[in-house]
Every structure is written in structure tokens, then in C-alpha cells.
């Protein structure tokens, strides 16, 4: 499918307006800027973005909650040929992970083809809280917990205040609303700890419930509405 037709089919703009977006260098395919109006999109594998935001051609909205297992990447394709979380979910629509979980991190992951919701959920401006459980390489004390709560100075800025509580001598529940790269691991590393295991237990009000590693389910309509309210898409 021609790129301008793809953008129009996604409801982003008319074909003529889509051509302007392409010529202005605002459209990328798999991370590469495309200014050629004759560019063809492979709708099965190509990831198209406009101004850094994913654009999809879809027939219906899909919202998935997945319990991510170890050793899966949260990208659609991987240059190293590693397994992707997308391969775990069987649906007729192309879906994409909301944000990322590291290859060696487990837990709750949302996948969808709703580009606007995905963008807002992942953007730190909307302050969606994500709860992690970290098992550390040594005991943690109350002073360290207070430092986590106040914020930790990283190379790309100080982290925002967060919630932190001890679940065991070496186990901490940490709830953050930012999206810095590898933030949880870096926060603990700054305080002299190594994260042995990391698990995301909640995303906003969503929890995994009885889902086992690799299992997934469709979000309930009330859960989708809750997410949309959380990020201001509906009142």
C-alpha cells in the first residue's frame, strides 16, 4: 500500500495532506524518515510513525493485557532475532506494546492498536503510575527507602518522588509515574544495589490477577474506559 494511502486509511489525513506530511519529513517507517511519495508500506511488518507516534490501519480497536515472561523483547521486530511479546498474542489486528519492559523483566504489559491511548499511557506527562517489585542483591534499610521516595539523582535528571515500601529484607515494591530508560534498575544502582529480579505488578489500576507467564486476555470495556479517563481522553 502506498504510504500516503496508508496514512489516509489510518484516518490521519487526506491523501493530499498525507503527501505534505511525507515531504516535510514527519513520517518514518521502521525508524527511517521517508520523503518519497512512491514509498510502499508492508502492512504486515512495517511500523509507521508520524511525529514519533505510531499510526495504524485497523478494522477494530484491540486492548490486550499480557503477563510478559522472561526473555521476550517488547518490540515488534528484533535485530537479534529474539522472541517478541507480539508473538504471544493471537489477534487479527496489528498490535504494539505500550512502553517497554526489559528483556529480563517480567510482568504486566498492555498491547493495543489504539495509537492515541498508547501514546498517552507511555508519556510521563500523563503520570500513569506503574508498580514494580524488585528483588535486590542485599538487604535494604529505611534510609534507602526514604531516598527512593524523595527521588534519586540520575545522569538524565532527578527522579520524581515515588512510593516505596519493603516487602521483605531484600524485596521492594516501587511505584513510579515516569518513563526514564531502565529507571528502576538505575535508581537502585545509584544507591548501591543490583536488581536480581524485576516484575511489573500493576499499570494504573490494572493488575495481572490469575494470568500466568505468557498468558493474555482482552481488557474489559470498563477497564478500557478507566484507562482513557486516566489519561484525559474522556471525561
What are the DSSP calls for 39-58, one per residue?
-B--TTT--EEETTEEE---
Question: Could you tell me which of 131, 93, 88, 128 has the C-alpha nearest to residue 112?
Answer: 93
Q: Please list the residues that pair with 13 across neighbouring strands.
A: none
Q: Please list the residues that pair with 108 across neighbouring strands.
A: 67
Question: Could you tell me which of 104, 65, 119 has the C-alpha nearest to residue 88?
Answer: 65
**Is 102 one of the annotated active-site residues of the chain?**
yes
| Residues 6 or more apart in contact with residue 175 via CB below 8 angstroms | 129, 130, 131, 132, 162, 163, 164, 202
Please tell me which residue in 61, 102, 114, 197 is annotated as part of the active site.
102
Which positions are catalytic?
102
Amino acid at each position: 500500500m502506498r504510504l500516503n494511502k496508508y496514512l489516509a486509511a489510518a484516518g490521519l489525513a487526506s491523501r493530499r495532506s498525507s503527501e505534505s506530511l511525507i515531504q516535510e519529513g514527519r513520517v518514518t517507517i521502521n525508524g527511517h524518515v521517508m520523503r518519497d511519495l512512491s514509498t510502499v508500506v508492508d502492512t504486515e511488518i512495517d511500523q509507521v510513525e508520524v511525529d514519533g507516534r505510531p499510526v495504524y490501519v485497523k478494522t477494530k480497536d484491540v486492548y490486550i493485557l499480557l503477563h510478559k515472561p522472561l526473555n521476550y523483547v517488547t518490540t515488534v521486530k528484533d535485530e537479534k532475532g529474539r522472541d517478541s511479546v507480539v508473538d504471544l498474542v493471537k489477534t487479527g489486528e496489528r498490535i504494539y506494546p505500550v512502553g517497554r519492559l526489559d528483556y529480563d523483566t517480567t510482568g504486566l504489559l498492555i498491547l493495543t492498536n489504539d495509537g492515541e491511548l498508547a501514546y498517552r499511557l507511555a508519556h510521563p506527562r500523563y503520570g500513569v503510575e506503574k508498580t514494580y517489585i524488585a528483588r535486590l542483591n542485599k538487604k535494604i534499610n529505611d534510609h534507602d527507602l526514604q531516598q527512593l521516595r524523595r527521588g534519586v539523582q540520575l545522569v538524565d535528571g532527578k527522579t520524581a518522588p515515588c512510593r516505596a515500601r519493603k516487602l521483605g529484607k531484600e524485596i521492594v515494591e516501587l511505584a513510579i509515574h515516569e518513563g526514564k530508560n531502565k529507571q528502576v534498575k538505575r535508581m537502585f544502582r545509584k544507591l548501591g544495589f543490583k536488581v536480581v529480579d524485576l516484575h511489573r505488578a500493576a499499570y494504573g489500576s490494572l493488575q495481572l490477577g490469575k494470568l500466568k507467564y505468557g498468558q493474555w486476555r482482552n481488557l474489559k470495556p470498563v477497564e478500557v474506559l478507566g484507562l482513557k479517563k486516566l489519561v484525559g481522553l474522556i471525561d
